[in-house]
Structure 1
């Protein structure tokens, strides 16, 4: 019997055949609106693939992208892997030096970029050793350089069928953000991404807390808010195409524009990091659309960092249904989702409910997950014993490109080591308490920076907070909180400490966890994926306790 290949091509062909008349819309802030369909997009991806072949791109060649969440990026997600080449979305938030390193390390042969990045690309070109083909996306705003424009490229192609390719061929590569040393490259095969898409679709369509029963009766809309340069946009461009949902691509992230789109396009689901959710909840124009959003009740799936309980409460008040997902660059990314079993009852106590809601969640199918000690022994499922999350799944990258030592370190004992420190709950859920690199070790004991952040964020004057470990002569490290206050709000260092002392009295945290210092600032630094960059804060305040 001939083996049927698990490829993105076969998913895309199915979407075209069954959901060909469903809309895919590009509705950016600057108004270059495009309303297409899956059927039309399928033909355009065939033409794009043929044109890339004419330009010398072949099987195994790597095609880098620098783009926002545009309809052209959506097309590249299908066209490049579909022709047997390798899609390589570049994190546009990284430093130019890191981008040069990544492109050269990956040996990208083509670079397709949005006109917004034209000045950057022109500066990078002399340093990019492997790139032979440059294509610009003018986005209806006129050419920014002399490089070929993508619409002209697509017009030159014929709608030739995609070739038959092996499910074991590499479909995409992606690089970590390099928070500890140089970025590391991970790769994913068609088989890995097809299984990730199928399992994600099962979870989003059928699991309690994520499924929308009304979407079985009529067409629902997904808004692609997660940056598509970040871990395949969490796989949602492929997943929601397979589900037959209508999709909306908003271009460059603009909070006012996004809340407008949610209301006007009746968005039922979207996802992003906590910072993006916070920016939507504090968008100046939110008040214009909040009643409509409360009527729609869109699910907002938070990933990339822990969801503070206070942020979850605020999201609920604004009409969103907050949910949690967990994964990382090396895992394609989804490992767990904060869904609920059909047999379990929701806690009546609000604090208990939000504790359950913000837990990292349960593994999705085909994910084998444990929380282990340093000897790879599972820790007790008591919600107290701390260990590291290790996983095995069909879509976890098998190795780091060209880095045998880091591969061995990550895969020691036959499990992929995530570097996330967590507790295992009796019901099988996990709750991340910190990143291994962010956990604070004081006097030989661990302090969870995430738990302290969660509690500090409940203070009515606090907008954002980051807790870091700062060197201390006696204790090794001590916690320091860096706080951004809400506009017009006031609070002192003693106000924050007194607020935390309430949780000490309630037995939620020990007294020795109280931060040694509270620092107020106007803005927290962010990584390229929108997370708070603690590496910068640690360097900035390394001497604050000396």
Structure 2
């Protein structure tokens, strides 16, 4: 029998009508979390803060936050007039692929494209050409914005294969135009900047996809993910808060030049974070030239930078490095663990280093090695152990370290498990790959594929990627730990430890070592050095690499500047056969 709802009394009917009228009369207006709100606020609160664009071999250009907001409004209006359309909650509108270095134009687009409801597709220009084409084939962009100084050879192959593209916008630092007619509507970027600016950005739903990007493809073909306005706004706010904690201490007095390419996971959120943090100057170096970057650190007074460990290594070992005083520079490390030897070399130059962690799928930041108040008076050696860890979750992130049954492992700093996370800005899905999506999202938590230990105070340390951890005789060996120890040898410049197939043990560790410039080192010297750590109980003897290979050339890197262990495993896979 159908259960009837009780009839509402006349008084209840009257109250409901009064509430409805109150809502209509009050003029309440919802506030979607969209990236244009970041720009509007920052250009009002810090109108005279500065964005500097100074490419190698070029001249210095500068705009204030207020002038930058005007640029964005002009570009946004022009894109709308070119027919680019808005998306809907969790549904794409126009998708705009961008191939560019770290330029002022690129930062324009980080705001202008999402602010009209379209989606910014940041193309990883360090991928191999066939991988770039692969990502394009999945993304199916409607328009292409491209730096023709360096990437014009890509245009024809892209247009020949990606038939969804109906518009090309070209950019140049050399007042260069296309070398041929591509048979498609082609517009110079400078024309966009001449457009009458938008008075108001259109109101769009905060769940509209704002950006699209792809993983670097170290474990297979690149995987596509996308992020909504709400996700990006919350991520940027949380990172800004965490960066204000020691030892980062980023605020309104700082000059920021992060060395994370803008095509790589939003440059770790930099275009939005610099606005929210009130950074007095944001420096964009164009295409990375390390001598030029060292000069910019000096001439622009850069106080904060960051990137993968390889970038710090290059800054310290570049032939021009000794010309510059780097004392007080703060370096935010991410992408892979900071080797202790590199940390020591940076500290000797007066650089303050602290680590963090994230993934392409997480927009990217999840943790940072900030210091709790009770640790501020610790000795430098004690603090070092904390800032070299992967850190604590930044605001709004929850994490656990779990076993194969998704049960929490003990918080003892020893028991290894997989890191699983939950936060507002984790990608909802992989593009066109429901199987990978299901595998990553299990039991309501995102499984990172990273192996970690959990300390009693809540800090975590990433021991390895699941794909990189060495499985020997049924036990795990941390390549990260071995690399960190070997890196402390005074003659070691770079090091990678990989697992190589072994008939008896399944896998055994092999270390590939690059000496510092002008240094010589032997396998026996490295082995004897490692025995000191065995004697002190820091690593078990069975962890010692079965082979130590000394090479003179620098180690191969991925498109994001990390050591390419996949390539090394392929190269040395027959060492024990």
- Does TM-score exceed 0.5, indicating one fold? yes
- Map 1:202-221 onto structure 2 (within 5 A): 202-205=241-244, 207-212=245-250, 215=251, 219-221=253-255
Q: What RMSD, in angstroms, separates the aligned Cα atoms of the two structures? A: 1.4
1:199 aligns with 2:238: yes
Match of 1:134 among 151, 155, 168: 168
543, 550, 557: which is aligned to 1:513? Answer: 543
- Report deviation, 1:159: 3.4
Counterpart-to-counterpart distance in 2, 1:279 and 1:446? 31
Cα pair 2:330 2:352 within 8 Å, conserved: yes
Residues 299-357 of structure 1: CA deviation (Å, up to 9, x unaligned): 1101011011111111111121101110000000110001000122454373x442222
Is residue 320 from structure 1 mapped to residue 340 from structure 2 by the alignment? no
* 1:99 corresponds to which of 120, 128, 132: 132
Distance (whole Å) between structure 2 residues aligned to residue 345 and residue 32 of structure 1: 42
- Offset, 1:44: 1.0
- State the partner residue of 1:524: 555
1:16 maps to which residue?
43
Tell me the alpha carbon deviations over residues 224-254 of structure 1, each in whole angstroms, 9 at most, x when there is no partner: 3210000000001101111221211011111
Q: Provide the TM-score with structure 2 as the length reference.
A: 0.91
SS in 1 for 2:136: helix
| Superposed CA offset, 1:341-378 (max 9, x none) | 0122454373x442222000000110010011111111
Match of 1:28 in 2: 55
Greater shift after overlay, 179-188 or 443-452?
179-188
Contact 1:69 1:224 (8 Å CA) reproduced: no
For 1:76 and 1:420, how far apart are their aligned partners in 2? 32
Confirm whether residue 279 of structure 1 aligns to residue 314 of structure 2: yes
Q: What is the rounded CA distance, in whole Å, between the counterparts of 2:179 and 2:423 in structure 1?
A: 43
The residue correspondences of 1:152-167 to structure 2 (distance < 5 A) are 152-167=191-206
Q: Match of 1:498?
A: 528
Q: Counterparts in 2 of 1:368-379, with a 5 A limit?
A: 368-379=398-409
Out of 266, 278, 283, the residue aligned to residue 244 of structure 1 is 278
SS of the residue aligned with 1:483?
strand
Q: What is the match of residue 76 of structure 1?
A: 109
Deviation at 1:136, TM superposition (A): 1.5
In structure 2, do the counterparts of structure 1 residues 141 and 316 end up closer, same or farther at CA, with 3 Å as the change threshold? farther
Which residue of 96, 101, 105 corresponds with 1:63?
A: 96
Listed as ranges, the gaps of 5+ residues in structure 2 are 1-27, 87-92, 181-185
Q: Could you tell me whether the CA contact under 8 Å between 1:466 and 1:483 is conserved in 2?
A: yes
Shift of 1:468: 0.4
Answer with 1 or 2: which has the greater Rg: 2
After the TM superposition, which of the residue ranges 448-457 and 30-39 deviates more from structure 2? Answer: 30-39
The 1:349/1:86 distance shift into structure 2, 3 A limit, reads closer
Cα drift, residue 535 of structure 1 = 0.6
How far is the alpha carbon of 1:156 from its aligned partner?
3.8
Q: 2:294 aligns with which of 239, 251, 259?
A: 259
- 1:225 aligned partner: 259
CA distance in 1, matches of 2:159, 2:529: 52
Tell me what 2:7 maps to: none
Q: Number of aligned pairs?
A: 536
Q: Deviations over 1:83-129 (max 9, x none)?
A: 11001111111011111111121111111111211123334331222
Q: In the alignment, is residue 5 of structure 1 matched against residue 40 of structure 2?
A: no
* Corresponding residue for residue 181 of structure 1: 220
Structure 1 unmatched ranges of 5 or more = none
Distance across 2 between alignment mates of 1:144 and 1:281: 39
In structure 2, the residue corresponding to 1:148 is in which secondary structure?
A: strand
Per the alignment, in what secondary structure is the counterpart of residue 124 of structure 1? helix
TM norm structure 1: 0.96
CA distance in 2: counterparts of 1:432 and 1:129, whole angstroms? 42
Deviates more, 1:121-130 or 1:255-264: 121-130
CA distance in 1, matches of 2:285, 2:84: 29
